[in-house]
């Protein structure tokens, strides 16, 4: 057998392996007849100025100094809440609506933070990533969930705790991934992003 024929056989084998692996990945990751989309992702500060007001950009106050009992010497710390609206859509575009088997139950989420300047060391430049539990099932294909966007404890750790005593602001992008399963056990997930600015923002007395 010539070297050329050997090379052709080897190339063919590599191509076949690559296709097989790729197809396998698609099968494992996409068995559900539906997929999730994020219609809207919002968040609201947990305390201080703008408390409870949802927006597509979160101003996360790391230390609330007013009104009482919050003060500069004894600031209050709140977690910040998020809200997401999800939809489950059929992969088969000819289908009119999801069946009961293809309704998706969300059971957890994961949040990571990153900075535009590339300084992304958790616990140094950005808050630690974390997992949270949240449960809800799409009804008629749609679902709205509330969840914890910024943990209380994150504001007591570096780099957020240092912001309580200076005027610096850390701008991050939070990537939120929701995980769930359809009613026959197929895994489904979807991600959304929003801007989160951390700082010691002015509080209303």
14, 69: one domain? no
53, 26: one domain? no
**Cα–Cα distances in Å, from 101 out to 4, 20, 109, 189?**
53, 29, 22, 16
Classify residue 204: in a domain, yes or no: no
Per-residue pLDDT tens over the stretch 99-134: 788 899 999 999 999 998 999 999 999 999 999 999
Number of H helices and E strands in the chain, helices first, is: 1, 8
Per-residue pLDDT tens over the stretch 65-82: 888 888 989 999 999 999
Classify residue 205: in a domain, yes or no: no
* Bridge partners (DSSP) listed for residue 196: 58, 172
Q: Residue 138 maps to which CATH number?
A: 2.70.50
Classify residue 128: in a domain, yes or no: yes
Classify residue 105: in a domain, yes or no: yes
22, 92: one domain? no
**DSSP character at residue 93:** T
Structural domain count of the chain: 2
Which residue from 47, 69, 74 is spatially nearest to 58, judged by alpha carbons? 47
Domain that holds residue 3: 1-30
- For the chain, what is the radius of gyration of the CA atoms? 23
Identify whether the C-beta of residue 109 lies closer than 8 Å to the C-beta of residue 151. no
User: pTM score, two decimals?
Assistant: 0.81
104, 166: one domain? yes
Identify whether the C-beta of residue 104 lies closer than 8 Å to the C-beta of residue 189. no
């Amino acid at each position: 057998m010539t070297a050329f024929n050997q090379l052709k056989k080897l190339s063919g084998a590599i191509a076949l392996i690559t296709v097989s692996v790729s197809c396998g990945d698609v099968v494992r990751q996409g068995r559900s007849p539906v997929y999730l989309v994020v219609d809207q992702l919002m968040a609201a500060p947990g305390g201080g100025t703008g408390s409870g007001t949802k927006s597509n950009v979160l101003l996360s106050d790391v230390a609330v100094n007013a009104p009482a009992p919050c003060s500069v010497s004894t600031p209050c710390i709140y977690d910040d809440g998020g809200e997401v609206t999800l939809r489950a859509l059929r992969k088969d575009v000819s289908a009119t609506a999801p069946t009961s088997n293809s309704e998706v139950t969300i059971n957890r989420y994961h949040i990571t933070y990153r900075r535009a300047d590339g300084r992304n060391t958790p616990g140094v430049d950005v808050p630690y990533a974390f997992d949270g539990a949240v449960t809800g099932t799409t009804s008629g294909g749609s679902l709205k969930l509330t969840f914890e966007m910024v943990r209380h404890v994150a504001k007591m750790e570096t780099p957020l705790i240092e912001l309580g005593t200076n005027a610096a602001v850390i701008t991050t992008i939070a990537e939120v991934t929701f995980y769930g399963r359809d009613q026959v056990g197929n895994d489904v997930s979807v991600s959304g992003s929003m801007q989160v600015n951390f700082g010691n923002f002015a509080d209303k007395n």
